[in-house]
């Protein structure tokens, strides 16, 4: 009987140590979904607002345990926003490449159409 308790304990440690670090982290911390970022506009809005909240926490000087919990929660929304921004920038690069190729081949229609899309989308990212 003693042997099976020891074996079960060792097996439990082996399973835990074989788990990826991320799975172990998920067991240690409560996770939040954060605000969604389904569009570029929503991502940029969340970045601006949640960056401001993070900056306010950081500007106050010493961080308390409560502040750390707030930072943890804010980071989920910021991560969602950055993921959407990354996706949009990848698409933007593809659109710009179409403009580039079209300019080399004197494809006026594609330059006008894709150039407009590029400018409208990049304007949401570039500060004026």
Q: Write out pLDDT tens, residues 25-75.
A: 554 455 778 999 999 999 999 999 999 999 999 997 889 999 999 999 999
pTM: 0.71
- Helix H, strand E, coil C: the string for 93-117 is HHHHHHHHHHHHCCCHHHHHHHHHH
Name which residue leads in pLDDT, 100 or 25: 100
């Amino acid at each position: 009987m003693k042997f099976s308790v020891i074996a079960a304990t060792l097996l439990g440690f082996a399973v835990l140590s074989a788990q990826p670090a991320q799975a172990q982290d998920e067991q240690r911390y409560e996770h939040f979904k954060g605000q969604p970022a389904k569009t570029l506009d929503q991502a940029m809005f969340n970045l601006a607002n949640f960056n401001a909240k993070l900056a306010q926490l950081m500007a106050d000087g010493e961080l308390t345990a409560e502040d750390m919990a707030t930072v943890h929660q804010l980071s989920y929304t910021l991560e969602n926003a950055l993921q959407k921004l990354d996706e949009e920038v990848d698409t933007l690069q593809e659109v710009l490449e179409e403009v580039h190729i079209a300019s080399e081949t004197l494809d006026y229609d594609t330059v006008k159409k894709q150039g407009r899309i590029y400018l409208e989308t990049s304007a949401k990212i570039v500060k004026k």
